[in-house]
Chains A and B, each alone.
Chain A
Amino acid sequence: MNEPSHVALNEVVRHYDGPPAVHALGPIDLAIPRGEFFSIVGPSGCGKSTLLDVLSGLSRPTSGSVQFEGRELHGEVPDGIGVVFQEDASLPWLSVRQNVGFGLRTSPLSEKEVAERVDHAVSFMGLAQFADHYPAQLSGGMRQRVCIARTLVLQPRLILLDEPFGALDQQTRLLMGDELLRLWRETGATVLLITHALDEAAMLSDRVGVMSARPGRFIDMVETGWPRERDSRIVSDPNFGTLTARLWSSLREESLKTMGRAA
């Protein structure tokens, strides 16, 4: 690829001092081109969340470098990156609308522009009915939608999601996957999704990286070849089964290793 990648990791390693001392991640080499939908799957504890922390600038690698839009990250989250966490990060003291508008408090936009963006994000994520409700009155899935809307409103160029649908039931997850694709197409952002659900990774992504057990390294990269206009009905495509099977065959060994370690 001649174009420089949107975000890149070069020989990134992450150690924790402990006790006990842990080699959590790496060495990792990864280059994601602009606009790609990239997923990461791996056994639990392999360092997926650590990878996300490093990629976003929330934590610094012990060695190696992280680049976003050509510039190296130094332990600070740069402008243009949005993160949706695994845990519920909705602010319980604010309404849905106030939550979504939270990131724009520091922006130089006028009140009118802020309101427009908030309204758009709220209706895009199907929350218009609940705009004045409080997170405690919503289900887990809706709260995650609030967090996604909150990220959307900042028009990020890179969106990182750490198992955002982990707590939801299967049907809700499939629908949320469709929404995520819609979001990806409409914003043109680069998306990196961390998930433990192989089918989710296979159906949503342009490319899937399979991580080994700890210390996490990439052991397989799978190109899905899906068209840009896609949704969850892609499961009926014959390639879907092949892809999922390939992911599992790479992953199964690593998962067994992790379980053996835990036993």
Chain B
Amino acid sequence: MTRRRAALFVRIAVLAGSVLLLEICCRTGIIDPLTIIPPSEMVVSMIDRIGSGEFNDSIASTFSTIVLAFVLAIGLGTLAGALLHRSSRLRDVVDPLLASYYSVPTFIFYPLLVALLGLGKAPLVVLGVLSAAPAVIISTLSGLDSVSPVLLKLARVHRLSPARTLWWIVLPAALPRLFSGFKLALSYALIGVIAGEFILSGTGLGYAISFAYQSFDNRAMYGLMLFVLLVAITANGILYVWEGRLARRRSSG
């Protein structure tokens, strides 16, 4: 068995073991059922509630907000990154801002956004973009930096137009780093939107979880929580695997 397979096996065993342990502790009463319900019941609750369709609106709302924030973050982020890359003076000025951006908790601006834009989707989208776009800008800059100058010379030798140079040489060369920025963007947009809904919102899955908590409806709450966690893990997992595939060609593996 290869080492990678062995690690995967152990990992699954550890995770399954932990879930099993939790299940046993809950069922035997070591853990108070008012605090945490057994994982099996979480799964049942999730299938129940999601299947019943009562949360379809919330799901649609949350996912559409996340996707919108993600797309905007990527679009604005790559454009801004490309612009900064062209102007080294502008880049020098903005660099310290980017470096310290993620040291500030973006959340603290959320109440301000709500006061500015009302209680709806708009502040959530803005929050998502504010969380995700700088990561895209940073990775775009890094990706463009990584394009070896000899490839640009190659483009000139082949007399490629600027558009073709961008599409056939620059973008493929920068893609690994760009993609890792996109991965971060999805993760941050998802976290931003759901956290925003949780704290201060009237719609969406985040709000539904908060509402269930405040109504002491533990079953619904855990069911929804599990759903959100599974979606987050799956979405990020897909991008992670995709990234691995792209990288494998370019490595000596």
Contacts and interface: CB of A to CB of B under 8 A. Distances in A.
A171 to B, nearest CB: 23
A83 B169 CA distance: 17
Nearest to A81: B157
Contacts of B151: 89, 91
Contact of B250 (A81, A93, A103, A106): A93
A262 B252 CA distance: 37
Interface residues of A, dominant DSSP: loop
Given A58-B153, A87-B148, A105-B168, A92 B159 contact: no
Given A134-B250, A136-B250, A137-B252, A56 B157 contact: yes
Contacts of A79: 159
Contacts of A76: 159
Contacts, number: 52
Contact of B175 (A87, A89, A93): A93
Interface string A75-115: 01101011101011101110000000011011000000000
A136 B249 contact: yes
Interface residues of A, number: 22
Contacts of B87: none
Given A58-B157, A93-B172, A103-B158, A87 B249 contact: no
A52 to B, nearest CB: 10
B27 interface: no
A85 B153 contact: yes
A92 B172 CA distance: 9
B11 interface: no
Closest 6 A/B residue pairs (Cβ)? A87-B150, A92-B250, A83-B157, A93-B172, A89-B150, A89-B154
Given A93-B173, A106-B160, 12 more contacts: A77-B156, A81-B157, A83-B153, A83-B154, A85-B150, A85-B153, A85-B154, A88-B150, A91-B151, A92-B250, A105-B168, A134-B250
27 contacts: A58-B157, A76-B159, A77-B156, A77-B157, A79-B159, A82-B157, A83-B154, A85-B153, A87-B148, A87-B150, A88-B150, A89-B148, A89-B150, A89-B151, A91-B151, A91-B172, A93-B172, A93-B173, A102-B158, A103-B158, A105-B168, A106-B159, A106-B164, A134-B249, A134-B250, A136-B249, A137-B252
